Amino acid sequence: MPSPDLAALRFDDVAAAHPDPAFPRFHPRPAQGWINDPNGISYINGRYHVFFQYNPDSTRHHRIAWGHVSSADLVRWEEHPVALRPQQGGPDEYGCWTGVVTDDGGVPTAAYSGVHGAGGHSQVVIARGSEDLVRWEQTGHVAASMPNDGRVTAVRDPFIFRFNGRRYAMQGAGLASGHAALLLYTVEDLSDWKYQGIWLTSENPVASEYTPAEIWECPQLVRVADSSGVSGNSGSRSAGESAGDAGTWLMMFSLWLSGDAHEHANGVGHLVGSLTEDPATGLPVFTPRGGGKSDLGRDFYAPQIVALEDRALLWGWANEGPGRDGRRGRSQDEIDAAGWAGVLTFPRELSVVDGALAVSPAPEVDAYRGALTASQTAGSVVLPPFAEALITAGAAIGDGTGGGAGGGNTAVELLLVGDGGRQSVFSGTLEPGEELRVFVDASLVEVYRAGSVATTLRAYPAPGEEWQLHFPAGAAADVWELKQPK
């Protein structure tokens, strides 16, 4: 039996007891406090582990620790005690920031950005975990410090990957020139990283087009399934550790700009390309051939990807906000009163289709489908507060004979409607034969378009408001109420 201070909490119980109607019931997080970036995503000893940036003491981004939830099936989640905390006098005294968890010779090991003081540079700090990843030993060991490279002005967010049987790491960086960059390390010994120099920068013409930033935060690099027939990942079970050399590789960044203040105007971008070996140095070379936006919503940032044997899964952070794109938000006073801030998305499967990133909810999410509240409904439909809607377009969509919001065009719109009026939360189009999946979990909206990237949004229903989904003629919607499976 675990000691009381290490006992897990069922997220179902946490959500059911929460007094705020905007609190999610199907996206696990603690009942109180601030959360942001997902960290340390891993599949170890038969369980998925998701850590995250966490301030358990307030709704503000300060003195960040690592929270921890886990699941055997991606559906039923448990909350564990705080995993990592800032250590007085240690290299992470100012915060345990973004990083990964990897299996290092059978020992779960965290590699994360630690900051000693306000305004200081981050260092890669190592912590070792128990077999169940619940107990952690923080000795303050530093595996990599700020590189002695005058071009590098900022560095953060370590990520580990494997290529051609060797272990490497990268960190996001900013340069004195104003460009974003990746730094490359060889990691034969996880406790001692060897700096290999600046690996890629936003001066690259493909990177400049698709991933413009001053700092590339939360860099990710995984091998992904490709519709051209290229196989996916093999043998890896920790964030960043994808095996194999050929095939299609996905690199993803959170696009930091000075003055962002958690608004993240550039959002998250990605590059699709190949990884080859430099014949002169033996080091990997990433060659991007395309890219794009990784999410089309304004409330999505700092995703992390884990490469598993047969798929790549992503979680992202959906933050609170003052109201973006005309949507009703929450003020800081309202957030403080609610006592919590931040949500993580559903786990998402990644692949490349016709050269472009395709994002879909993990199939396990289907387990949340409860009662069918609407079947093949045309025109518009009211959604429960916790719902999934599947909209399917026919071949004759938009012929003008239905009652869709577009009045005969191909528009789809998700609205909050009440006595005081209506606000548009999501709007888009639907082409013949397309499918849209729309999830509503209290104040979190996720929209998935088959063969494309997702859209992540936050919206806060006022008392008396209801969710309405409008869609064009020639389309039909099935709606399920989300329910925890027994």
Residue of 443, 473, 474, 471 lying closest to 456 (CA atoms): 443
More confident residue, 108 or 409: 108
More confident residue, 81 or 241: 81
Question: For residue 382, is pLDDT > 60?
Answer: yes
Distance, in Å, from the CA atom of 78 to the CA atom of 409, rounded to the nearest integer, reads 45
Residue 419 has what pLDDT? 87
Q: How confident is the model at residue 233 (pLDDT cuts 50, 70, 90)?
A: very low
Per-residue pLDDT of 273-329, as tens digits, reads 999 999 999 999 999 999 999 999 999 999 999 999 999 999 999 999 888 888 889
Question: For residue 238, is pLDDT > 70?
Answer: no
Count the Cβ atoms, other than its own, within 10 Å of residue 479. Answer: 23
Q: What is the pTM of this model?
A: 0.93
Q: What percent of the chain has pLDDT over 90?
A: 86
Question: For residue 407, is pLDDT > 60?
Answer: no
* Mean pLDDT, rounded, for 376-399: 92
Distance, in Å, from the CA atom of 1 to the CA atom of 7, rounded to the nearest integer, reads 9
Q: How confident is the model at residue 395 (pLDDT cuts 50, 70, 90)?
A: confident
Residue 232 has what pLDDT? 46
Count the Cβ atoms, other than its own, within 10 Å of residue 218. Answer: 26
Tokens coding 452:
């494309």
Q: What percent of the chain has pLDDT over 70?
A: 93
Residue 399 has what pLDDT? 60
Average pLDDT for the chain: 92
Residue 236 has what pLDDT? 38
